Chains A and B, each alone.
Chain A
Amino acid sequence: MLRELVRSQGERLPTNRSPRAPLDRRSFLMCALASGTALGELAVPACASPSALSSQSGQQTQNDEQFVVEAKFYEKLPNKKIKCKLCPRECNVGDKERGYCGVRENRGGIYHSLVHSRVCAAHVDPIEKKPLFHYLPGTVAFSIATAGCNVNCKFCQNWDISQSRPEQIPADYAPPQRIAALARQFNCPTIAFTYSEPVVFSEFLMDTADAGHQAGVRSIVVSNGYIQQDALRQAYGKMDAVKIDLKSFSESYYAKVVTGQLKPVLDTLVTLRKMGKWTEIVYLVVPTLNDSDAEFRGLAQWVKANLGTDVPLHFTQFHPEYLLKNLPITPVPTLERAKAIADAEGLHFVYIGNVPGHPAQNTYCPQCRKMLVERVGFTASTLLIRKDGSCPFCRHLIPGIWHA
């Protein structure tokens, strides 16, 4: 059970909630109990079902039209066609057709999002599960998703929601104010947009972030960073912290395994840096496909040169899933090799993820080398960083947002 829960390849949905199986009241209670047991240290409700989102609890509200709003990022073309300007794919979409993401549809020359307030997954997760290690450690995030994704990673662990159309997945109508209220109800200082790909539900993300801020709840996003610059500035400009899945440091990998491009993701990271957004990077190490020394070194050098040495970089363990079941789990020595290379290049905060109990899950002061945050599973069990963000031993300033 624990092993299932700690895997994060992208961020995996908790296994006790199948998106294709709507929960009844009994299942919801069992789900909550099971999650509460697994994540017992948190001492908070660990699971909220979509049913709990609906003001009419337990009632499926699949009226497709209530989730439809005009999309924000597109350009009209002749003959009722449109060009989507949300992600670098720039889908040219004819009337009655959808973009690559499957959740945006051209209706008579007007482009629409079909997933505003259409929440297909909702959970209370430790923020370390995103993973964000330098942002409010030990807190929980009210984590939500809609269907859809603008890439198609062959290793996706949440493919059953990310690669589906919204009509194919049970969902509830949960408007932004309702999400913000639930986050407060569950004592979550943050709302996390995660599990599938938040880029594709940008309109909902923006409105919910606004509602959250009005209610005193912050917003974080777990994203592939495959987004156009204008949309990035507008949508992720409303975020308080960002985690980007940098899936490889090679264009060919992005083309073959991700069905996307590397360059726009690197541009996203640079822009987020300029915007002053707290950003962490996850690199899923897939055996034989993106695990060479040269790639690790190239990545670390690029991060140092473009983002600085203080950006947390997480090397995480791959598990065979979806269309990539023929490869083994990433050996721990491979992850340690990646970390050693990034450390040697001068990055200060290089972590190993998805390996419970590994010492590289902890945060150490880059100056005095003392341990400052100890993590057990997804829990920050020890947090020694001072209120002003400095090391209690040498007063070195540790980058991050450590306390609410």
Chain B
Amino acid sequence: MSALPSASRRDFLRQCLTGAVALGASRMPEAQQAALTAKSRVVVAHDPLLRGTGSTVDASRIQSLLDRAMLARFNRDRTVDTPLAAWRRLVRPGDRVGLKVNTLGGRGIASNLELVEAICERLQQAGIKTGDIVVWDRDSQEMERAGFKLSIGGDRVQCFGSDRVDYEDDLAAYGSVGSRLSKILTRYTNVLINIPVLKDHDGAGVTIALKNMYGVIHNPNKYHPNGCDPYVADLNMLPEIRTRMRLTICDATTAMYEGGPAFKPEHSWKCNGLLVSSDPVALDATGWRMIERKRAEKGLKTLEAEQRSPRYIVTAADREHRLGNCDPSCIEVVEINAEV
């Protein structure tokens, strides 16, 4: 005879259901869990001395800023007490990790090299093999123009554009989107870390995390009408993207409040920051507010007033998409500053 109190049939079923929900939730991407349960955390990290006295980003300071941001992002349950522990929550040995950078704007406004190197360093320390890390974007030439050195094969960190391996023959489709996906995404990676930049976009309003996925498909030009809405949201719904996406580390070392997506030095500012979140919608909503603040400071109209408000961010959070939170009351912005 068991000494344990016996559960009634009703209790048993209730427990099973609760368990099933919990199990189901644990398999959902974190942004979706956040959208259903807790607030989404977006870490905004700044270091006014990121560039020291020069114009280039100091490698050790950005490593330090990244560590602090990662810790702030993952220490919610207080079991993560070191940066490395944070990375180990994100990836496991054996993972093949894609770092999707943004290089369209050239050296002026591309994902920062020192930042990407810092991420690669921590990934390797977390047990990822060097050759299993792929730094990639749409086009190899654009990557080179942004300062990346191409590297294909061998045990080094891989670095090349989709043009080197082509796109899948079959279409991936959701809603308004039907596209061929980069084979780098589908065949070289099982984990995706998104490394966009923070900038204005003349058509879409802003381009940050969600829109950076336009660099994953063969036909992004088809999805710019109507301020990219609902195309950006639909694209991010593709299972091949959604199941791989783990984290966004937005490079806001240099940012643009007007004139994007090409680099316009007169409309850029040294923001000296990073935005880190597992919820790309919350990160985009936060970045959008930062750009609006800068526009106001410069005496420019709001994006809404210019009729190019990034509506796709709201669509990404709607009931059909549920890619994350865009309502400020559902976003916890954690601001940290580097030790001076």
* A contacts, CB < 8 Å to B: 20, 79-81, 91-92, 94-102, 152, 154, 160, 163-165, 167-168, 259, 322-323
Closest to A151 in B: B222
**Among A91, A101, A163, residue most surrounded by chain B Cβ atoms (within 10 Å):** A163
- Checking B163, B218, B221, B261 against A94 with a beta-carbon cut-off of 8 angstroms, the contacting residue is B261
Count of chain B residues near A, Cβ 8 A: 23
Decide if B163 touches A167 in the complex (CB within 8 Å). yes
B52 within 8 A of A: no
**In the bound complex, how far is the Cα of B33 from the Cα of A199, in angstroms?**
47
B166 within 8 A of A: yes
Given A20-B169, A323-B171, A323-B173, the answer on whether A98 and B221 have CB atoms closer than 8 Å is yes
B281 within 8 A of A: no
Give 3 closest A-B pairs by Cβ, nearest first. Answer: A95-B262, A102-B221, A96-B262
Given A94-B202, A96-B104, the answer on whether A165 and B173 have CB atoms closer than 8 Å is no
Given A97-B262, A323-B178, the answer on whether A165 and B218 have CB atoms closer than 8 Å is yes
Tell me the number of A-to-B contacts counted with CB atoms below 8 Å: 55
Given A165-B218, A167-B163, the answer on whether A100 and B178 have CB atoms closer than 8 Å is no
**In the bound complex, how far is the Cα of B260 from the Cα of A323, in angstroms?**
32
**In the bound complex, how far is the Cα of B117 from the Cα of A84, in angstroms?**
40
* B contacts, CB < 8 Å to A: 104-105, 139, 163, 166-167, 169, 171, 173, 178, 202-203, 218-219, 221-222, 224-225, 259-262, 264
CB-defined contacts of A164 to chain B, threshold 8 Å: 218-219
Min C-beta distance of A272 to chain B, whole Å: 27
Q: Can you name 20 A-B residue pairings with CB atoms under 8 Å? A: A80-B262, A92-B202, A94-B202, A94-B260, A96-B262, A97-B261, A97-B262, A98-B221, A100-B224, A102-B222, A152-B222, A160-B169, A163-B218, A163-B219, A163-B222, A167-B139, A167-B163, A168-B167, A323-B171, A323-B173
Min C-beta distance of B85 to chain A, whole Å: 41
Given A164-B219, A165-B218, the answer on whether A79 and B225 have CB atoms closer than 8 Å is no
- Checking A81, A96, A322 against B178 with a beta-carbon cut-off of 8 angstroms, the contacting residue is A322
**Among B163, B221, B259, B260, residue most surrounded by chain A Cβ atoms (within 10 Å):** B221
- Checking B163, B218, B259 against A79 with a beta-carbon cut-off of 8 angstroms, the contacting residue is B259
CB-defined contacts of B219 to chain A, threshold 8 Å: 102, 163-165
Could you list 12 further interchain pairs (A-B, Cβ under 8 angstroms) beyond the known A102-B219, A160-B169, A163-B222?
A96-B105, A98-B221, A100-B221, A100-B225, A101-B221, A102-B221, A154-B178, A167-B139, A168-B218, A322-B171, A322-B178, A323-B178
**In the bound complex, how far is the Cα of B38 from the Cα of A319, in angstroms?**
48
**In the bound complex, how far is the Cα of B179 from the Cα of A322, in angstroms?**
10
CB-defined contacts of B173 to chain A, threshold 8 Å: 323
- Checking A96, A101, A154, A163 against B261 with a beta-carbon cut-off of 8 angstroms, the contacting residue is A96
